[in-house]
Structure 1
């Protein structure tokens, strides 16, 4: 039975761990790369083929990390050819599909050249996501990035030269020592490069990161709350004025270039996670693969399995997650979709929460559903709390 579903592939390797990053990624483990790609290809061949047999070709594939573009050329080629074989993906020069698989690969601008991007393009990748974060060289060094502002600008030239017509770039605001003027300069630089999609996040101090340790020691100088709020306001007004519509709390796109893969997360679409620490959402339950790279490689080689079920998904948890994820998007919670999924009207569960948030100006309502207002997007966590059962 054909149905919409996605695939996420995790590449845990980095040249250097960024100071803000709490993703499952490691630097200095190049010795595992070959064994890891072998294990990935085995997992794709078994699990990918299983779900392709059940549901057809996936609508989206997303390769994230870590930094996928640190993989040596030959290992990336092996991985892409396995994906092509298992999922019958067309190459750049091959057949044209009515709605091709959206295939995204994350890249660090300091790790790519034209030959590498051409390899990606020729073996079926049709969307790139560049982790830029800022174009300011001093800030880049301060947050542990390995690329320069010039390399970030050049990355777009290389992407276009390789044939890519769908490119996303990431920014982070609220960085140590950053001013509002610096953020505006970053925004101006980014829109001048004309990516099709822009993701922009406020800096979060996550437990276990270098920045969190620096903060505990009093060695991190962050912009104050008023400055960060002004940055947020500048960002949310600047990007729509330059042709990027906000379709999710942290994501802006030119018309038709919204990330189909990310939208599937927010719209309750199942996905298969491949690789160490990768998460899956299958048959209404969430799973996580083992996190440690050696354990993952051994689990695949021995056939002992690497996937573990997370907390069992109760009906209440499923409703909460459905609400939180849908509210992140500009479209919000679709009443019909909610009732189809849970067999009860949205208002039977959330009438009080909806009424309260409407009074506070955080939520808007119409016949189709409910969605966060501009104010609600700004204070999303306040709104999400009301949807806890």
Structure 2
């Protein structure tokens, strides 16, 4: 049964130098037409794949808060009309929000339609690094959005921070962490920079114009991140995520537990009835596919039992608690050791995994070498 919804707003006021998500410049785009097609996809998805309960909704992008107030209200009205009949008390409803693109009125609209969690794209607290990233905001606007959000009644606030940036120092990362914590944030997501194709940074890297930290320096940054956030009470519950108790992202936990979810919008992905589906990314193609076929799918892949078990491991191991042996056996009808015993034994010997009795989980060393661990569970 599907209990989670992801909705994609691809519009941006500017394009960050590292971003490879599905996005387009806002200016001149058919925003209203796109939102109408999203509304249609929501309705048809619920008709084809019914659910009885929605626990989490996440609006990502792009920049959802690039929508103007009228567009934002139209979009959130669609979401509430389609999905709220299935929601229960305790719904986690998250919207990504960028500093500089949020107004008190937009926050008021979000509250009106049930949004209760904001994921704020700060990335760094140094204007020089923000400029290098191609971000459209400055440091002051980060504190401004947090102040506005709290004034509007938002208590569940997550902040994105990046490390391993061009010419970033350990001292700058430490400063960013402390300044984020000082704002009274309840959750922090922090990822190292990944240089992806079709980005400004990729072109700079190919030309030798992207001075990145060494692997040792990046590992030191990650260690500093964990140490400082844990000292402030933000517990690491996943490789890249930290939260005060009770503020863990329930939507992202859906992904890490390999549970099913709807994906609505251009370029969105979904996982329903054991099938992973990918939507068309270009706006015109997305909308024309809905008009012509009812759904915007460009790829549908029904997973084998083996593929599902692999995903259960390399997704679940991202969480500090790891993979539940009981849940694995209930889902797949066989003990995890009977499928991955050799891999688990090897990684336990290398002190990258541990068997707690109820779970298979990463060790402290394993958190730094996660990719090496996950690779062991692919194509077994």
TM-score in terms of structure 1 length: 0.94
C-alpha deviation, 1:311, in angstroms: 3.5
Q: Report the count of equivalent residues.
A: 379
1:93: which partner in 2? none
Q: Give the RMSD, CA atoms, in angstroms.
A: 1.6
Cα contact 1:83–1:89 (8 A) shared by 2 = no
User: Structure 2: how far apart are the matches of 1:132 and 1:326?
Assistant: 27
**Deviation digits for residues 63-105 of structure 1 (CA, Å, limit 9, x no counterpart):** 0000000011111101111111122369xxxxxx973211100
Which of 233, 245, 262 is the aligned partner of 2:223? 233
2:170: which partner in 1? 180
Which of 287, 290, 295 is the aligned partner of 1:305? 295
Q: 2:6 matched to 1:11? A: no
Which of 59, 69, 93 is the aligned partner of 2:65? 69
User: Structure 2: how far apart are the matches of 1:260 and 1:353?
Assistant: 29
User: Structure 1: how far apart are the matches of 2:350 and 2:334?
Assistant: 26
Cα contact 2:2–2:262 (8 A) shared by 1 = no
Q: 2:192 matched to 1:202? A: yes
1:35: which partner in 2? 33
Cα contact 1:89–1:124 (8 A) shared by 2 = no
User: Structure 2: how far apart are the matches of 1:28 and 1:158?
Assistant: 24
Q: 2:262 matched to 1:272? A: yes
Stretches of 4+ moved more than 4 A in 1? none
User: Counterparts in 2 of 1:77-226, with a 5 A limit?
Assistant: 77-88=73-84, 99-226=89-216
C-alpha deviation, 1:18, in angstroms: 0.6
Cα contact 2:2–2:261 (8 A) shared by 1 = no
2:56: which partner in 1? 60
Cα contact 1:361–1:376 (8 A) shared by 2 = yes
User: Structure 2: how far apart are the matches of 1:150 and 1:74?
Assistant: 27
After the TM superposition, which of the residue ranges 145-154 and 308-317 deviates more from structure 2? 308-317
1:26: which partner in 2? 24
Segments of structure 1 that go 5 or more residues without pairing to the other structure are: 91-96
Structure 2 counterpart SS, 1:31: coil
Structure 2 counterpart SS, 1:110: coil
Cα contact 2:235–2:242 (8 A) shared by 1 = yes
Structure 1 counterpart SS, 2:94: strand
1:89/1:162 CA distance change after superposition, 3 Å: farther
User: Structure 1: how far apart are the matches of 2:80 and 2:235?
Assistant: 33
1:98/1:293 CA distance change after superposition, 3 Å: closer
C-alpha deviation, 1:299, in angstroms: 2.1
User: Structure 1: how far apart are the matches of 2:277 and 2:289?
Assistant: 16
Segments of structure 2 that go 5 or more residues without pairing to the other structure are: none
User: Structure 2: how far apart are the matches of 1:29 and 1:293?
Assistant: 14
